[in-house]
Amino acid sequence: MNRRLIGLMRKEFIQFFRDKALVLLILYTFVEIAICGWALTLEVRNMPIAVYDGDRSAESRALVDAFARLDNFRLVAQVDRPGDLDRLMDEGQVQFALVIPPDFSRDLQAGRTAQVQLLLDGSNSSIAGQAMAVTAGLLRDYNERIILARVERVGQGGHGFLPRVRNQIRIWYMPQLKYVHFIMLTMLAISVLLLGVLVPAAAIVREKEAGTFEQLMITPITGVELIAAKILPMILLKLVGLTIGVAMSMWLFGVPLRGSLWLFYGISVLMFLSSSGIGVLMGTIAQNMQQTLLLAFFILFPLAFLSGTMVPISNMPRAMQWLTYLSPLRYYVEAMLGIFLKGIGLEILWPQALALAIYGLALLGVSTLRFRRSLA
């Protein structure tokens, strides 16, 4: 091979390995692919469910055990009153509930059709549809077992009185199971994150590249004042953009708004503060626009897929589920779906609002400290 070509290639390798950020980014990209394969799946897996067993018989326990044995479901609560299921569904602690009436075993023993009620959270229609299919298969197997047991007990003559379990499915929040509603709301949430991070980061890096930071250093302006001056106007402009996105979602795609619009804007402001905190922190680290974009790729994709917008959080391995608490987008998506599709208020969504407020204050505090150092 040409010696000059070898020399040039050697130079490129040396320059590449001198840029530690670029090396780390390439390694991180392939590690991230492995993490996605491990954590991202659209199959129904470990869906949290709750049960109200009003019968408390051997037959009802067998049906509950049949649900608990499946990998698709994870039994997280057995309640004493059917009304408790409403609270668990509104808070998002469960996405599926099984209601067994008090006369369940009596109907089966008498050879009558027994009824059970299934409550499904339809805010993610794709997952709700898969859960319905899994449940239909489970009840079919359960029916076959009780029919076989009945035939063995009374003989073939009992065919005319074979008991069965019939399910009555109720889809909550989005009965029509329109996936476009879920997609529109989650895309809006991701847009809020992207704009909240990239706009302040780019504004700070632009100051660095233009060399105007040196001029700021000789003024009496403080780091807090400068960050506030950069963030607050941007938040107002982003709220205007968010209003346009909400209006398009509601009027063009029929996304319902069942909760308070003012509460939605209040939580959106907290989300803009949190994402702006990430953006300002990126701006204090990056020295130019290229580094800003690399950092954005490094940070934004994990925040997005850890939020539950791509796949349900319950589908992820337990370690990844803990990591989702680090993504502010998780809290914002939960609040947005709760306000638009479930119609719930601050009495239920206060943990999400509090988490976003703490997240934003902590990040803006760290960003301000770093900013002061760069101005000193």
374 pLDDT exceeds 60? yes
- pLDDT recorded at residue 263: 93
Confidence grade of residue 201 (pLDDT, cut at 50, 70, 90) = confident
Confidence grade of residue 160 (pLDDT, cut at 50, 70, 90) = low
- pLDDT recorded at residue 266: 93
139 pLDDT exceeds 60? yes
pTM of the model: 0.74
- pLDDT recorded at residue 265: 92
Q: What is the DSSP string of 48-59?
A: EEEEEESS-SHH
Pairing of strands 47-53, 73-79: parallel
Query: Which of 124, 127, 118 shows the shortest CA–CA distance to 43?
Result: 127
User: What percent of the chain stands above pLDDT 90?
Assistant: 8
Token couple for 16: 């590449």
Q: What is the DSSP string of 71-123?
A: TTEEEEEEESSTHHHHHHHHTTS-SEEEEE-TTHHHHHHTTPEEEEEEEEETT
185 pLDDT exceeds 70? yes
**How many of the other CB atoms lie within 10 Å of CB of 244?**
9
- pLDDT recorded at residue 55: 86
